[in-house]
Structure 1
């Protein structure tokens, strides 16, 4: 969901600049991500808990399982059954206290699904399809990333977040991660309260629920919280290769800086930034606002792409790559290829699946940007 206000402000800025210089609006300088410091009000955070533009029209029927990976077709059937079960629950009298002390009898087994698999096997597609297939009004089901969920708590407060989401039939959490012990406790407590209220849960991640935190933290202080989360979900494994590159040619080579600059000037709503400057700017914007950072963009143009120097910058770039991919914003870049963004140590560490996902998604966006080069 893109902000009309932001678009109007950008149009106003372009018009004002053009009038002052006497140049036509079409010759205005490209936008800059580094000049943006978005503020996202709490009501927008709640309103945007829906599948992003790339996944707005996906359905179970549009998911194409790999014939060589039977777990993919099996996952579709599990999720179809899960959505049908939510419909039966609604017909039987609405929400149930599945894990709490309600008067209604609690069904056997966990009432959440957890889609586990590598990057590019279609987990987000399936999670969004579940959201669409669940028989409830959009206001009674929520879809967001783990980062967006934690930021919602920060904006509304814990108790208000519980009240806001407790009336939902389904909460879908994409890119479920536990990179911080505080977030571990926060989300564990939140989900426990929502489950007591009868909210069904669904999540995606690259790590099984009982393995969350491995390769990142090994502290016994929050291991108990991790194990508690796993009890809420039925793990559904999805094997396979990255569909974004299945049968496709090699990723495009980077363009020259001159080509990138020309593409930025010739594409409506394009931004143009030096890659090192963008990495520094991302540190000044909370990752939960990266979606708003990209509001109204027709393309992101980057010059001087280079290996990311440290893990903090790398993880922020991963979040930006996810938001650009969700919003279908093509990326035109000069410098090193995207498969050289992260060093060998990063690709062998605990966040390696995040980095591979970012490479995969940025490569897909680079392919989509090819038509912008003249």
Structure 2
């Protein structure tokens, strides 16, 4: 069967507020994970410890443990109380999202699971008060890839989490940065230390050590193909399926016309993506939008076949060393894994 080709640059999706809220659940990649399917590295004891701590946290959800934020702030809770939130800190690819999704699956609902960016987009779509009202009835709110990129986000997420905590909602988050260090290198974090400390005080921190599982014991990412090779490889790997094929420069430009909250719908119904002539992105705003797309592609486990530059050159050296370096390193890690799947098969889905 011949491959059906579509172009993401032809799509301008619209997403209602109700659709945004209904989408707050683990992606297909993590749709059936559990604590039992997580594979702790025997060389990293913190990974097995994190599983046990999360199991205990899951058991406490819905039982009233932890107390509200204001009770703890003014000394109403005992030192033995379980904190209202749990925070998974660790490097790229140590399985934090797998564990967060496992926690979501293990507790009763209603519950929400989304990335930090998706929650800020939700507030933008619903207004802050309606977002709080919608989430306050939940037993658990999971926030993946917690990063504070500007002062507005710091204040926004501080308020959101404080009000949810006061309502008795349990909160779990993942990040590559300890709560007290959020925002460092991006803006004058010292000017917002109170808000940052509010966030830090709500979490029990679990450190998860280890190397990036997407590269652990696996071959290096395949080299990009030549343009003339793309069609044959696509037909061999994805014949009879739906492939989104675009010139990389056109796709990146198109992203400026689609709100990041709609990127999940942008790639809906696609089995793989093909990019011609991948090049280095020079502008930071463009690069940050592309990071969001990379995250959504990884969520859906969409293989990538590409020509042009390898993905470790898609961001400039200055970006890779700057204030947003953790975002860019995560994106490179994920794009590399998807490129490996595109050429070699599903060898990175571990």
TM-score, normalised via structure 2 length: 0.91
Moved more, 340-349 or 236-245: 340-349
Deviations 1:122-144 (A, max 9, x none): 0000000010111x13xx11101
- The aligned length equals 337
Answer with 146-155 or 341-350: which moved more. Answer: 341-350
In the alignment, which residue of structure 2 is the partner of 1:171? 141
| 8 Å contact from structure 1 (residues 97, 197) kept in 2 | no
Query: How far does residue 323 in structure 1 lie from its aligned partner after superposition?
Result: 0.5
How many angstroms does 1:370 deviate by?
1.8
Q: Which runs of 5+ in 1 are unaligned?
A: 1-24, 90-94
Q: SS in structure 2 opposite 1:244?
A: coil
Partner of 1:251: 221
Between the aligned partners of 1:72 and 1:48, the Cα distance in structure 2 is 29
Equivalent residue number for residue 42 of structure 2: 67
Q: Would the aligned equivalents of 2:35 and 2:51 in 1 still touch at CA under 8 Å?
A: yes
Tell me the distance in 2 between the aligned counterparts of 1:27 and 1:345: 39
Question: What's the CA shift string for 1:98-126, capped at 9, x where partnerless?
Answer: 22459xx7453522011111110000000
Distance 2:183 2:252 in 1: 26
Which residue number corresponds to residue 162 of structure 1?
Answer: 132
- Are the equivalent residues in 2 in contact too, given 1:264–1:271 (CA < 8 A)? no
> What is aligned with 1:295?
268
Tell me the TM-score normalized by structure 1. 0.85
SS of 1:38's partner is: coil
In 1, Cα distance between equivalents of 2:71 and 2:329: 43
Q: How many Å apart are 1:97 and its aligned residue?
A: 4.8
SS at 2:87 equivalent: strand
* CA deviation vs aligned residue, 1:50-72 (integer Å, no higher than 9, x gap): 11100011111111111111111
RMSD: 2.0
Structure 2 residue corresponding to 1:237, chosen from 177, 195, 207:
207
Shift of 1:222: 2.2
The answer to whether the aligner puts 1:80 opposite 2:67 as a matched pair is: no
Deviation, 1:27, is 7.3
Per mean C-alpha deviation after superposition, the further-off stretch among 45-54 and 258-267 is 258-267
Output the CA distance in 1 between the equivalents of 2:7 and 2:18.
26
Pairing 1:143–2:118 present: no
Secondary structure at 1:369 match in 2 = helix
- Which runs of 4 or more aligned residues in structure 1 lie more than 6 Å from their structure 2 counterparts after TM superposition? none
Distance 2:67 2:12 in 1: 42
